[in-house]
């Protein structure tokens, strides 16, 4: 089975809001979307931090982000457009930036096709969200992170 190493970013602004994207998987483009963190695949020769910074710039336009500690790791199996399984190994990193309105200028074709929205969430707003969020316990993890 093919593996994909990813750097996922818990990106917080100066108000402790988290930036999330809403999109669908290419393997199931008609499925309802889910909210998820900024981030993506680690390219050959990149460190996790380098990948996180690149993904932040590409997906948001923010160039002032500072990447910190690894928060947690996980893995799951997704399927590509041809239905083949892919083992996705995720590392979630904490990052902070000044905030502002994200721009989509750096989005790749896949992001343009499958990402429907991007916005800042307060911890309370995320906890009250009735739409799917990944990871499913992100609101609890964010609350614990901000509590120290």
Query: What global pTM score does this model have?
Result: 0.93
Residues 59, 41: Cα–Cα separation, whole Å: 12
Whether the per-residue pLDDT at 28 is higher than 90: the answer is no
Whether the per-residue pLDDT at 8 is higher than 90: the answer is yes
Is the separation of the CB atoms in 20 and 36 below 8 Å?
Answer: yes
Residues 98, 139: Cα–Cα separation, whole Å: 21
Residue 36, pLDDT score: 96
Q: Could you give the domains of the chain?
A: 2-147 (3.90.79.10)
């Amino acid at each position: 089975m093919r593996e994909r190493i990813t750097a996922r970013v818990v990106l917080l602004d100066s108000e402790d809001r988290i930036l999330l994207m809403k999109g669908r998987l290419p393997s199931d483009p008609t499925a309802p979307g889910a909210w998820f963190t900024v981030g993506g695949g680690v390219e050959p020769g990149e460190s996790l931090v380098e990948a996180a910074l690149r993904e932040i710039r590409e997906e948001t336009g923010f160039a002032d982000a500072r990447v910190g500690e690894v928060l947690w790791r996980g893995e799951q199996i997704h399927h590509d457009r041809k239905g083949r399984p892919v083992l996705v190994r995720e590392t979630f990193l904490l990052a902070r930036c000044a905030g502002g309105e994200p721009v989509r200028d750096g989005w790749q074709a896949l992001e343009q096709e499958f990402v429907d929205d991007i916005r800042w969430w307060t911890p309370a707003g995320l906890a009250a969200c009735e739409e799917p969020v990944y990871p499913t316990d992100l609101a609890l993890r964010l609350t614990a992170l901000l509590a120290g």
